[in-house]
Amino acid sequence: MYEPYILIDRTLRCLLDSMTLRYAVLAPFLILLAACNKGDKVPAYLEIPAVSLTTTTAQGSATTKITDVWVSIDESFVGVWELPARVPILSEGQHRIDVVPAIKRNGTFDDRLRYPFYTTWTSNISLNKEGTTTVNPVVEYIPQADLWIEGFEDTFFQLNTTTDSDTLLTRYLPAEHPELLYVENSPCAGFRLDPEHRRVRVYTDEDFDSYGGPAFLEIEHRNSVLITIGLLYTYNGSARSEPYLYVPATLRSDGSMPWNKLYVDLSSFFNSPIAERDIYIEAELPEGSGSAEVYLDNVKLLRLQP
């Protein structure tokens, strides 16, 4: 429903394109016959309603937006299935089932990949011809994941506001603002724009290093106006600021404004010959608009530990 698109400055694009990482390509829709007798066409069904995530306290929120799964039986690939999935398998009895969670990269409908920071769910399952076996996979973050997290649980933010912004990032508590439909009933943060407060940019000030490998920004957003996710970095001694991803409003025609989760692939950015990497989030009130709202929660930067 929400289709962000990428915009990168030519200078940065030249740096990134040469080092673009592709971790998975969506496989064509197929069914692999596994451990079946020739001529046997009666399938068993594996039903996967959803895949959930479990986290430790240090890993923050357990919210996800897993949209697809890669399914294997006895290490033989069965196919890629959109959730909720009902997978026909020409096998019966006990079998090992592997489920690999997948997400929409940068929120794009046709760019789905196995998320490199979630584990694979594995279990021995009993399959019955013409029967349905339902599983509810639960995955974790991989042990090698290094997480930087801003969950707005504390009154002091890890996101700074630029001096040219004319409003500030504000923390909202569920008890005081129940209308915001909080993620996991936890605090969130945001900014409200009007003609006297038209623009805001918040940014990390971490000078993130590159460890190599995949790097993703997870972010939950609820917004009535376009958001820009951008990159701050130094190249050849010069400080640069570039827009990277435009995130459309989640405002619906009926007036509702649901939360959405986005996985932003920053792998190329973190594997380019640049220094002092940081990320910004920006919004501006459009001309002719009287007001706008942006709310953020569970901002996570995930990289591989060095």
Is pLDDT larger for residue 55 or for residue 32? 55
* Fold held by 44-139: Immunoglobulin-like (2.60.40)
Q: Can you tell me the mean pLDDT for 301-305?
A: 94
* pLDDT above 70 as % of the chain: 87
Joined together, the tokens standing for residue 214 give: 């995949």
The beta-carbon contacts of 117-120 under 8 Å, at least 24 apart in sequence, are 117/141, 117/142, 117/145, 117/214, 117/216, 117/302, 118/53, 118/66, 118/142
Question: How far is the CA of 289 from the CAs of 2, 197, 224, in angstroms?
Answer: 21, 12, 11
Each residue of 148-172: pLDDT tens digit? 999 999 989 999 999 999 999 999 9
CB atoms within 10 A of CB 94: 10
Whether 199 contacts 168, CB under 8 Å: no
Each residue of 168-217: pLDDT tens digit? 999 999 999 998 888 888 999 999 999 999 999 999 999 999 888 999 99
Each residue of 34-74: pLDDT tens digit? 444 444 579 999 999 999 999 999 999 999 999 999 999 99
Torsions phi, psi for 52 (to 5 deg): -110, 165
Identify the pLDDT of residue 277.
96
Query: Does the domain made of 5-17+144-304 have the CATH classification 2.60.120.200?
Result: yes
Identify the pLDDT of residue 127.
96
Q: Is the pLDDT of residue 14 over 50?
A: no
The C-alpha atoms of residue 279 and residue 208 are separated, in whole angstroms, by 9
Identify the pLDDT of residue 40.
59
Each residue of 66-120: pLDDT tens digit? 999 999 999 999 999 999 999 999 999 999 999 999 999 999 988 999 999 999 9
Identify the pLDDT of residue 109.
85
Q: Is the pLDDT of residue 5 over 90?
A: no
Identify the pLDDT of residue 21.
39
Question: How far is the CA of 18 from the CAs of 70, 118, 188, 266, in angstroms?
Answer: 28, 26, 37, 14
Where does CATH 2.60.120.200 sit in the chain? Answer: 5-17+144-304
235: three-class secondary structure by DSSP:
strand
pLDDT, the chain, mean: 89
267: three-class secondary structure by DSSP:
helix
Q: How confident is the model at residue 228 (pLDDT cuts 50, 70, 90)?
A: very high
Each residue of 236-263: pLDDT tens digit? 889 999 999 999 999 999 989 999 999 9
Q: Is the pLDDT of residue 25 over 70?
A: no
Identify the pLDDT of residue 35.
43
Where does CATH 2.60.40 sit in the chain? Answer: 44-139
Greatest CA separation for the chain:
73
What ranges make up the beta strands (E) of 39-142? Answer: 44-48, 52-53, 68-73, 76-82, 85-89, 93-104, 112-114, 121-127, 132-134, 138-139
Identify the pLDDT of residue 105.
97
CA-nearest of 128, 101, 125 to 112 is 101
Torsions phi, psi for 49 (to 5 deg): -65, -40
The C-alpha atoms of residue 115 and residue 105 are separated, in whole angstroms, by 9
Identify the pLDDT of residue 4.
53
Identify the pLDDT of residue 7.
52
